[in-house]
A and B are shown apart, each in its own frame.
Chain A
């Protein structure tokens, strides 16, 4: 157990120390002490990565529950719980990030009492709050099962799970798309390759692709880290679904550029065009082509590579909307401070650690709680 564990433990401990320092600085010196945000660039890495990408990365929760409980594709049942756990932790991390990013976080509950139905942010706030509650309720049966409370478990799966799943899909549809709507009100500030009146639709469809890809990646990681067996057919199926969703996304994306008459700008090879081509080419078209190829889907590592590209590509897309397109549109200057990265990476690490802890305490995987993690497990180092 070895050096590798030592390395990861050390990394995690060091990261958490830095993270705590940055958090203290944040709450004593204000946002300016830890970030390069400024009056022209009020939203940066935390909104682009932790909020926009974080919520989309957690989309596997509603996608997989919909596939299993609404479409009754039973084959995918073994990955429902890991996907739910990821989503639940994902949303908790998003809320944690908001507590850091909001200037007056002690007022975070204010949308409950001060209403503004004209505000997209108001709607997102309510949806995130409600959906996190739904995720918690969807997740509870694992606790019941762990402590053998059979009655509650039975009651839950018979009467509560279906309405909860439907509510979850509804709420997710709303706020996944609304994160795109946030930017519909700044047509004059976003570069035309990213501004679109159909941003909500683009965000929703790409969130599904991202959720599927993330579930796929995460299944691989769990497979390796916790020595779990998953039917390869499940992973291939996810790959096919991701490919189709990406095709839908790309069709919408290019149609939209064409209709708005800015398709030409995509190929002039200026900064915007290069970012766009990288995002769409490497982050969507290439992995889509790979996922449509049977040989790729049959090779676990190639499949993992393709899905990783999807994940990175769509995170890049969110970052481009939040940072690149906004800078190109307004001329604002901003490069994230190292402390901003510490917060973002720190939250991801906390999420991973919580995941590793949860799979040990609760029956997340079909075989029950993980008892003897593989010695090469990088995550075991993260849990106490």
Chain B
């Protein structure tokens, strides 16, 4: 389990977009109002209507699908929490985008030297012992940063003390095997803004279940093929020898 996490409490969010602004500044992007996640918007505050809002950002999965599928390990999970991307390694195959269960990674489609873009959980700040820029900027405490363990406990307390307001589960405790971004969902907000069908287990185990068998399959299959070659070759040689014998007898 990773050390740090972000807790987003939907019921406290007032839609001021301070997190968007702080994020853009931290990542040296021109300030703008996000209209969804894209290469220049790593977080997005969605207006759900009726004073309800939802934040979107990379969930920083505990066992990230994106990192598991990346052929060159350009995406890596740090034990601190962040899942980060390395420009030096990436080949631009976009398998991470295909596989991410939260539909997060974004791509610079119109660049000849494209980068993959997603929230890096302000890994450079964490390394200096500082919280993420979005958490620091949030004026209402809707986005907070801290130890994952502590935030889980905090979330549970809030839900238990006010079950009328909150849905009973912490989003991100189980989703895709658990994430480093945790969300408390308001009963009035609905769940339509959440990605559909996120499985409650980590996805990398599905392909690993196939891949881990390869070291066993390869030798057996190799021996089998070699054996077939040897056997049929012998059969042919024997047939030829028999043919020759017959020829001699005649």
Contacts and interface: CB of A to CB of B under 8 A. Distances in A.
B194 to A, nearest CB: 12
A340 B233 CA distance: 47
Contacts of A188: 101, 196-199
A253 to B, nearest CB: 18
Given A105-B92, A107-B89, A166-B222, A185 B114 contact: no
B218 A121 contact: no
A294 to B, nearest CB: 27
B107 interface: yes
A72 to B, nearest CB: 4
Main secondary structure of the interface of A (DSSP, over half): helix
Interface in B70-103: 70-74, 89-95, 97-99, 101, 103
B69 A38 contact: no
B214 interface: yes
B111 A116 contact: no
B113 A104 contact: yes
Contact of A186 (B74, B98, B113, B214): B98
Given A118-B68, A122-B71, A166-B229, A186 B110 contact: no
B226 interface: yes
A170 interface: yes
B207 A185 contact: yes
A110 B93 CA distance: 12
A123 B229 contact: no
Interface residues of A, number: 58
Nearest to A102: B92
Given A116-B73, A181-B210, A27 B68 contact: no
A102 B91 contact: yes
Interface of B: 37-38, 65, 68-74, 89-95, 97-99, 101, 103, 105-114, 116, 196-199, 203-204, 206-208, 210-211, 214, 218, 221-222, 225-226, 228-229, 232-233, 235-236
26 contacts: A32-B110, A39-B103, A39-B105, A39-B106, A39-B107, A39-B109, A42-B107, A43-B98, A66-B225, A70-B232, A103-B91, A107-B92, A110-B91, A111-B71, A116-B72, A118-B208, A119-B68, A121-B93, A124-B71, A165-B229, A170-B221, A174-B214, A181-B211, A185-B204, A185-B207, A200-B210
